[in-house]
Amino acid sequence: MAILKKQLEKLNLSEREADVYVELLELGETTVEQISRKSKIKRTTVYDVIEALKAKGLIGTTKRKKRTLYYAEDPRILENQLEEKKTVLKGILPQLLSLASCIDKKPDVKYFEGSEGIKNVYQDTLNYPGQEILMWGTTDVFTYFDENYMWDYYLKKRIEKKIWMRAIGQNLGVVQKIQAEDKKHLRETRLYDSRELCLEVEINLYGKRKIGIMSFKENLGLIIESEKIYITLKTIFELNWRMLDNRK
């Protein structure tokens, strides 16, 4: 249940709002006193939380014998609200991008910390549907990063957006298993011997001018936007790619 509440917090609910909403889903129609008792939140605070949830369309009220009862609305309303926001964003995104393009000085390097920061780098690679990602990989991703994010979210989104990947990975059993799924995952993988090539970070080349670098042990990520650096690294990648093909 704690995990469920944490996930709700990612949908723009506060910790207490998530607590009260989940308790209401379990209790059905109920009183403030029961909500307070079950959620262990002070009654006066529960009133404030209820008003916030009502404003978000997640709680309804009814009357029974002059008593006000509260109930949780269908959870699918959260999905509907997200779809509505996506529609709004889609409508204003061209204007926002147009405003951004008017800025003369843009940062060439963006620095991100922590697991969520690394996810920001991966998310940026998804902004170029139908293009190709060139990737040097490291098995550190399996030890120091969120595998559920990689398989349950990122991989599915990359496939959905038809983003093909060419990957150079370490010649180990875990990578060989991933290589076996290449066709299904819109990917071609070639393997390198760690005795000849030592990679302790993952490097993604994408968007025709961007380089994403993820250092999983150090828990940080970088996005470098530079056509010159991109072209240079792409040339090195293509050379590396051909060399690995010649070893078959």
Amino acid letter, 34: Q
Mark whether 198 and 146 lie in a shared domain.
Answer: yes
C-beta separation of 29 from 64 below 8 A = yes
Structure tokens at 86: 């996506």
Strongest mean pLDDT among 102-111, 152-161, 189-198: 152-161
In a domain, 6, yes or no: no
| Structural domain harbouring 228 | 106-246
Q: Is the pLDDT of residue 143 over 80?
A: yes
- Note whether residue 89 is domain-resident: no
Average pLDDT along the chain: 90
Query: What pLDDT is recorded for position 246?
Result: 61
Report the alpha-carbon distance of residue 20 to residue 48 in Å, rounded. 11
Same domain? For 56 and 126 the reply is no
Percent of the chain with pLDDT over 90: 61
Tell me, yes or no, whether 48 lies in a domain: yes
Are residues 115 and 202 both part of a single domain?
A: yes
For residue 234, the model assigns a pLDDT of 97
Same domain, 150 and 242: yes
pLDDT band at 107; cut points 50, 70, 90: low
Let me know whether 48 and 157 are in one domain: no
The 10 Å Cβ neighbour count of residue 116 is: 11
Residue 67 domain-assigned?
A: yes
pTM of the prediction? 0.63
